[in-house]
Amino acid sequence: MSEPVLAVEGLTKHFPIRTGVLRRQTGTVRAVDGVDLALHPGRTLGLVGESGCGKTTTGRLVVRLAEPTSGRILYGGRDLAPMSHAELRPLRGEIQIVFQDPYASLSPRLTVHEIVAEPLRTQGRYRDGGRERVGELLELVGLSPEHAGRYPHEFSGGQRQRVGIARALALDPRVLVLDEPVSALDVSIQAQVVNQLVHLQRELGLAYLFISHDLSVVRHLCDRVAIMYLGRIVEEGERTEIFARPAHPYTKALISAAPISHPSQRGGRRRIVLAGDVPSPADPPSGCGFRTRCWKAQERCALEEPALTGAGHRVACHFPEDSTTADPGGCYGGKRLKSDARRPDVAGDDDISG
């Protein structure tokens, strides 16, 4: 594989909890707790997890919208983590972000032209053919340059998201962090934007960090997938590996919970129902973060934190799923999964544990 264009090592973000009149620190939220990731040119890494797992914070750290508590962000042979704002400024254009909500992330008072031109202006690159550049960018994302004088409210959600993408591309980035870029869009529009992202990547050789909770979009778009739980990566590997042979119990539960695509699959898939709720990142469990909800947890899981190990397909679990028992065809494909029915660790569809 090619050299990564950007890599993070041991990335950590702790938010202090302050209480009382004196705002004394009484605790710490471990939002991101030692994350390692590598992004490659022309490739997409999916970062998947449920709300509060730290995936958005990870994205914001990568573009340095948030200050890491510790860890390294390696880009072009330099570590971005300790850099000051002044030092970062010339590099800002190379690592850009597209936000989830195309309604909140575009100023309603600026025209589309002004929105897309803003990064060019702040970097002093507008004077030199900025107007033409904005037109090019709008065309690149499938918008008509004639619409540049309109305001965001005159556009639909999908079109606004394209404006957000054009803005992110203005400074010729090499890395694009996409934080749930299609989650707020309707299905038919989602597909338009997803296709657009694929085309842009091919054309510009961009490295994507695609943050999402939607497994079907991740499976469609990503080359590699990292699963995050309680601030840590619990599993990471090639897309096909992760979906066909999930090794971490959490990954397995997540995949089993994805909605079916045809009514004929009803009752066919065995749902793994996780007990309880995600623990608070202010007070994570000892050892493995997932052990409080894991059906395989043993004494060792409470004592010892599992490291993310393996080559290619990495997993952080003391008792990973045995690849021989996994369904080789994956959980999908319209086939009924009978093999799991007799397994005691897999609950039926209707079981609810609170």
Partner 1 sequence: MTPLLVVDDLAVEFPMEGGVLRAVDGVSLEVGQGEILGVVGESGSGKSVTAMSVLGLVRPPGRVVRGSVRFDGEDLLALPARRLRRIRGRRIAMIFQDPMTALNPVVPVGAQIAEAIRLHQPRLGRAAVRARVLELLASVGIADPADRYGRHPHEYSGGMRQRALIAMALANEPDLLIADEPTTALDVTLQSQVLGLLDTARRETGAAAVLITHDLGVIAELADRVAVMYAGRVVEHGEVHQIFTTPRHPYTRGLLSSRPGLASATGELVPIPGSPPDLLAPPPGCAFEPRCALGAGRAACRTKRPEPVAAAGGHLSACHFPGEPA
Region from 28-36, 79-87, 122-130, 272-280 binding partner 1, contact rule CB under 8 A: 272-280
Region from 66-74, 103-111, 128-136, 209-217 binding partner 1, contact rule CB under 8 A: 209-217
- CA dihedral of residues 72, 74, 80, 81 (deg, nearest 10): -10
Region from 17-25, 56-64, 219-227, 295-303 binding partner 1, contact rule CB under 8 A: 219-227
Q: Which CB, 24 or 335, lies closer to partner 1?
A: 335
Single residue of 47, 73, 221, 227 touching partner 1 by CB under 8 A = 221
Q: Are 223 and 45 in contact (CB under 8 A)?
A: yes
Q: Which CB, 74 or 194, lies closer to partner 1?
A: 194
**Contacts to partner 1 from residues 123-182, by CB under 8 A:** 156-159
Q: Which CB, 69 or 190, lies closer to partner 1?
A: 190
**Helix count and strand count (H, E) for the chain:** 10, 11
Determine how many CB atoms are found less than 10 A away from the CB of residue 102: 25
Judged by CB under 8 A, does residue 188 bind partner 1? yes
Q: Least distance in Å: CB of 116 to partner 1?
A: 20
* Residue type at position 259: P
Q: Are 54 and 251 in contact (CB under 8 A)?
A: no
Q: How far apart are CA 297 and CA 308, in angstroms?
A: 17
Single residue of 7, 192, 204, 310 touching partner 1 by CB under 8 A = 192
Judged by CB under 8 A, does residue 271 bind partner 1? yes
Q: Least distance in Å: CB of 195 to partner 1?
A: 6
Q: Which of 335, 228, 231, 230 is closest to 276 using CA atoms?
A: 230
How many residues are recorded in the chain? 354
Query: If you compute the radius of gyration of the chain from its CA atoms, what whole number of angstroms results?
Result: 22
Q: Least distance in Å: CB of 89 to partner 1?
A: 37
CA–CA distances in Å: residue 173 to residues 106, 197, 339, 343: 19, 14, 47, 48
Q: Which of 317, 140, 147 is closest to 227 using CA atoms?
A: 317
**Contacts to partner 1 from residues 56-115, by CB under 8 A:** none
Q: Are 73 and 37 in contact (CB under 8 A)?
A: no
Q: Which CB, 68 or 284, lies closer to partner 1?
A: 284
Single residue of 70, 144, 216, 298 touching partner 1 by CB under 8 A = 216
Q: Which CB, 67 or 154, lies closer to partner 1?
A: 154
Token digits of residue 131: 């107007």
**Contacts to partner 1 from residues 26-55, by CB under 8 A:** 50-51
Q: Which CB, 75 or 332, lies closer to partner 1?
A: 332
* Residue type at position 100: Q
Site string for partner 1, 225-264 (x = CB under 8 A): --------------x---x---------xx--xxxxxxxx
CA 9 to chain centre: 16
Sheet with strand 95-98: strands edge to edge: 95-98, 175-179, 207-212, 44-48, 224-229, 232-238, 314-315
**Contacts to partner 1 from residues 276-295, by CB under 8 A:** 276-278
Judged by CB under 8 A, does residue 341 bind partner 1? no
Handedness of CA 71, 77, 83, 85 (dihedral sign): negative
Q: Which of 135, 170, 166 is closest to 149 using CA atoms?
A: 135
Q: Least distance in Å: CB of 257 to partner 1?
A: 4
Token digits of residue 101: 């909500």
Binding site for partner 1 (CB under 8 A): 50-51, 156-159, 186-192, 194-195, 198, 213, 215-217, 219-221, 239, 243, 253-254, 257-266, 271, 273-274, 276-278, 330-334, 349-354
